[in-house]
């Protein structure tokens, strides 16, 4: 994909503060703190510092909106199209206070469940550790909400090929999906970037798809354990 521009737009604490982009397709990045969501965004947009990354978990604290204009490199007369990437705070970081975790949970949950224009969620999982309890709960919750979810195992540069395929199989088992449904990525060497752009293609139309679920259905809250877990690798 040829990236023309990528820009930070706004940080919003909750759904009601989120800007409206009409029918522009929007993609949200979810995952545990420090898994590499912001790095993924930089890698996809081929920018070093579009989103702030850090070794310290809990760096991203708001719902952060970025616009990207792109075109297909094979087009004779490229017509730039636009999309939105949304970088979200991570879950599963035990060192953040309870009150703050609760604020993030409410913000995340409201955004993911109710955001118009959200076409798909990209859920990042650390390839070395595989899905943790919080990842599994998040994935199940997204499925229940009827959200198209791409599962991406990232930081693959830290694993050998054979470990990678072993970890993919066990991750698929933990999430109860096919290993073929898991995508691999590295924000370090950009492995998987073309495949990710290709996978997004069917969701890039500015025409809004019919919702899979009725808005009025009662939906359960995202289990607090997602944001309140004691899993800690730091
Ligand atoms: P929060 O905003 O705190 O939720 O974290 P995040 O998910 O946005 O993670 P971030 O992108 O800030 O990356 C965390 C750390 O992991 C940084 O030190 C990155 O350089 C590193 N990192 C991210 N992706 C990769 C990757 O694919 N490979 C390697 N080797 N390191 C990565
Ligand atoms: Mg981040």
Query: What is the DSSP secondary structure assignment for residue 43, as one 8-state letter?
Result: H
pLDDT value of residue 95: 74
pLDDT value of residue 221: 55
Q: Is 49 in the pocket of ligand 1 (CB under 6 A)?
A: no
C-alpha count within 13 angstroms, C-beta hemisphere, residue 182 = 27
Q: Is the dihedral of CA 121, 37, 91, 19 positive or negative?
A: negative
Q: How many residues does the chain have?
A: 234
Query: How far is the C-alpha of 197 from the C-alpha of 132, rounded, in Å?
Result: 26
pLDDT value of residue 209: 57
Nearest CA to ligand 1 atom 22: 36
pLDDT value of residue 230: 42
What are the strands, taking DSSP E only, across 13-46? 26-31
pLDDT value of residue 229: 43
Q: Is 32 in the pocket of ligand 1 (CB under 6 A)?
A: no
Q: Read off the pTM.
A: 0.90
Q: Is 89:60 a contact under the CB 8 Å cutoff?
A: yes
The CA 53 to ligand 1 mean position distance, Å, reads 6
Query: How far is the C-alpha of 19 from the C-alpha of 54, rounded, in Å?
Result: 26
pLDDT value of residue 75: 81
pLDDT value of residue 175: 98
Average pLDDT per 10 consecutive residues for the chain, totaling 234 residues: 94 92 96 95 96 82 93 84 94 78 84 95 98 95 96 98 96 98 98 97 78 44 46 39
State the ligand closest to the CA atom of 152: 1
């Amino acid at each position: 994909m040829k990236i023309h521009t990528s820009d930070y737009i706004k940080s919003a604490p909750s759904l009601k503060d989120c800007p409206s982009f009409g029918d522009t397709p929007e993609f949200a990045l979810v995952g545990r703190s420090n898994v590499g969501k912001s790095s993924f965004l930089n890698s996809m947009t081929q920018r070093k510092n579009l989103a702030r990354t850090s070794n310290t978990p809990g760096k991203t604290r708001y719902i952060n909106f970025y616009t990207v204009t792109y075109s297909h490199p094979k087009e004779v007369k490229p017509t730039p199209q636009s999309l939105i990437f949304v970088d979200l705070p991570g879950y599963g970081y035990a060192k953040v206070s309870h009150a703050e975790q609760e604020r993030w949970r409410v913000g995340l949950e409201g955004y993911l469940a109710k955001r118009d224009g959200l076409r798909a969620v990209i859920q990042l999982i650390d390839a070395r550790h595989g899905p943790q309890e919080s990842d599994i709960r998040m994935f199940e919750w997204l499925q229940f909400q009827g959200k198209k979810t791409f599962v991406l195992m990232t930081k693959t540069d830290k694993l050998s090929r054979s470990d990678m395929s072993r970890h993919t199989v066990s991750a698929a088992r933990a999430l109860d999906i096919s290993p073929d449904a898991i995508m691999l990525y590295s924000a370090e060497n950009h492995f998987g970037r073309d495949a990710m752009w290709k996978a997004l293609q069917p969701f890039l139309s500015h025409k809004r798809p019919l919702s899979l679920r009725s808005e009025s259905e009662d939906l359960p809250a995202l289990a607090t354990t997602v944001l309140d877990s004691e899993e800690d690798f730091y």
